[in-house]
Structure 1
Amino acid sequence: MRTFRHAKLMASTLRTLLAERGASIGHAESLEIVARQFGLRNWNILAARIAAAERQETPAALPKGWSIAGTTPGNYAIGLDAAQSSRTEKIVAISCLFSSDDPDAARIQNGFGTLMQAVDARPFIGKRLRFSALLKTRDVPGHATIWMRVDDKAPDTILFDNLMSRPANGALTGTSDWTARQIVFQIPEDADSLHYGLLLTGMGTVWAKTVRLEVVDDNTPPTATRQHYERQRRVRRVIEGGPQNLDFSDIA
């Protein structure tokens, strides 16, 4: 059974059948007709859908110790960007698989994908902890950012920051060159798990490198104050051994 993945073959069959009946159309026109048959506005949208399906079948390499999550992680290619990386510097990316003119663009804009770690927070209790990275973006109408969260034993979230509410030095949008972003928490006594990562909402691409998770002195002000997010109760999932592979050099 043929699907949209066979669009070029269908366009070729269409041209052949029309030629047998004395009608002639060009290759580009036949592709446009096939796209309309699938309910899409033009061939460019259908071609993007085909490319997205192919990328979903060959996911990016995932750095060891990191995991993929989000509301719609299947809409994104998440992992090592081999083309951007070098032998000495590894770069990860979250890239939406769909184009901005896709008919489902409004729905896709409401989702997000993240590359993250979750570790035991207890070794950091009483310490001031900074999570930072260099970010670069392309064609991001939503938000590209880093985030960090602390949960207690319930587990309920008691600290959270994703830069999105900041008037300055917040989440990135549009297209930007490498930009430094950071989050600083004072880890409270009842902290149980620590979560952090890279986040993209909607479409476009965000790249990250020079990721750091480090203890800083009291002269570095926290970026978020304690709150209680009881409605966001979660399952406790942490990796053993604490933060690892922050330079993305070890590929699973």
Structure 2
Amino acid sequence: MTDTSIPSRDVLKSQAKRLRQDLAGRGQTITHAQALETIAHQWGARDWNTLSAKAAQHHPGWAPGQRVSGRYLGHAFAGEVKAARQAANGFWALTLRFDEAIDVVTSTQFSAFRRQVNTTVNAQGHSPQKTSDGQPHMVLHVS
């Protein structure tokens, strides 16, 4: 499978759903699993699990100079990707530079301003590390 334009897993599942609907409209029924396998073959994969894994890894990527916004330790920010490296298991190691320094401390007793941070995120821009209330340390959105 060398095609780099594989859509997201959700798009692939939608294709399988439409395939089932189209075939059902013609009187031919297939299971959802059969539809997924058919979609996988159409994309050049040997099976759904292979295509699904490839789709999970596929992301246009995070790239230096890319504008991003989001929340870091609960604080909103806007900035840009200074450095990006694809790591293992679909994660990305990023260095982000905020447009304005943010205070990453919730205490009223002192402040700790950050203008640049290193973080690890998945393809959706969420860090695996979470705060004590269960929120990801980093949530990124492409600006």
Structure with more of its chain in helix, by fraction: 2
TM-score (normalised: structure 2): 0.41
Q: Which has the larger radius of gyration?
A: 1
User: TM-score if structure 1 supplies the norm length?
Assistant: 0.25
Higher RCO, 1 or 2 (CA under 8 Å, sep at least 6)? 1
